[in-house]
Chain A
Amino acid sequence: METDGSDGDRGHGGRAGKPADEQAGERPTTAGAAGREAVTFEWDGIRAGFFTCLPIALGVGGYGVAFGVLARRAGLSVAEATLMSATVLAGAAQIVAVELWADPLPVATIVLATLAINLRYSLMGAALGPWLDELSSIRSYGSLLLMADENWALTMRELTSGSGRGGFLFGTGIAIWVFWVASTIVGATAGGAIGDPARYGIDFVLAAVFVALAVELWEGRSTLVPWLVALSTAIVAAAVVPGQWYILLGGFAAAAVEVIRYDQ
């Protein structure tokens, strides 16, 4: 890893309009609070997270309606679909689960599929570790329970900017939870009246969020090798391995390559 050179790169790649002292927070997993704002958990951060996430939560609502429709078709009641959205809060896993729904109910298969699809959350939560570590257990674990792909992405963006707003994840999570549960009720109640969500481009929102995040996370040339490793691993794994293991494999492969070439 080109330690000295990459610090210079980061300086140049720094986002316009941010004070220079915030750049210090750009090395995401540096242990401890050295050189960046202390992480706090305040109303201001929670509120900022909630409102930043609102437009994206609206997109999540699109998936929620789709899930509600699918769940109803699979034979779940409105109450059961709503209970699942309120307690599981994991879009992809829930949609796969209702696709596996059958009589008799294959509980073991459904729970195993849920585990496989959601294992990526462990990596995502670990990536938030350096900031959450500075919060109390109840705040860090409580926030993590509300983590989904979309608000994890927003929170990474917020915290790598060095704002120190540790309540951000919790605020975004509340927005996601409210819209996810409400839209599930709408979808499950309204049934098939919605039609195809692809017509409104709702199915593209998640991909768009991740493209935007990739632009934010790009740190210059030092990022190129791990990203190419992640990309090639994920594309091969998605074609060969069933389920969503490719996300984990891509992430692990990139981290492994970085660990190996650390002092070279």
Chain B
Amino acid sequence: MISEDALALDPLIVGAILAMALVTAATKVGGFWFLRRIEVSERLEAGLAVLPGAIVIAILGPELAGGGPAEWGGAGVVLLVMWRTENILLSLCGGVGAVVLFRTLL
């Protein structure tokens, strides 16, 4: 049952969505655009080299700190399976399965 309401496009809302899209596109290409225009010293390069891991940890830390024993247990399962098998799909399935299990048990 698709009502005509479902297909409505309000000009103000479409404008807001397109503004969000523009800002997001600028953030996605901005860092790369800036970096290829400056001379990168070895010192700066060393700093950039730690960025990927640091960002991963910065996203993960507060998220896990805000979770509970079920999430910590699930993260532990992912860590263990990934460390042992190097298989991302296996790690994800194990972790998500563990979280669901821990949530019903704990």
Contact = CB atoms under 8 A, between A and B. Distances in A.
A178 interface: no
B34 A207 contact: no
Contact of B61 (A77, A83, A235): A235
Interface string A116-128: 0011111111111
Contact of B75 (A128, A207, A230, A263): A207
Chain B binding site: helix, strand, loop or mixed by DSSP?
A: helix
Nearest to A17: B86
B64 to A, nearest CB: 7
Contacts, number: 286
B91 A254 contact: no
Most buried by A among B35, B54, B100: B54
Contacts of A254: 50-51, 53-54, 57-58
A201 B99 contact: yes
B58 A250 contact: yes
Nearest to A215: B82
A1 interface: yes
B21 A87 contact: yes
Given A78-B6, A147-B28, A114 B60 contact: no
B54 A230 contact: yes
Contact of B58 (A59, A213, A234): A234
A190 B105 CA distance: 30
A210 B14 CA distance: 33
B55 interface: yes
Chain A binding site: helix, strand, loop or mixed by DSSP?
A: helix
Nearest to A154: B88
Interface string A100-135: 000001010011001100111111111111001100
Nearest to B94: A208
B47 A201 contact: no
A69 interface: no
Most buried by A among B12, B35, B49, B100: B49
A83 B15 CA distance: 11
B31 A29 contact: no
B106 interface: no
A43 interface: no
Given A87-B17, A211-B60, A249-B58, 15 more contacts: A84-B17, A94-B20, A105-B16, A122-B30, A141-B33, A201-B97, A206-B63, A207-B74, A212-B82, A231-B61, A234-B58, A238-B61, A246-B58, A247-B55, A247-B58
Interface of A: 1, 15-17, 27-31, 55-56, 59, 76-80, 83-84, 87-90, 93-94, 97, 105, 107, 110-111, 114-115, 118-129, 132-133, 140-141, 144-145, 147, 149, 153-154, 156-157, 160, 188-189, 198-202, 204-219, 223, 226-227, 229-231, 233-235, 238-239, 246-251, 253-256, 258-259, 262-263
22 contacts: A27-B49, A31-B45, A80-B10, A87-B20, A94-B20, A133-B36, A141-B32, A201-B99, A207-B60, A208-B75, A208-B99, A211-B78, A211-B79, A226-B50, A226-B54, A231-B57, A234-B61, A247-B58, A250-B55, A251-B55, A255-B54, A258-B50
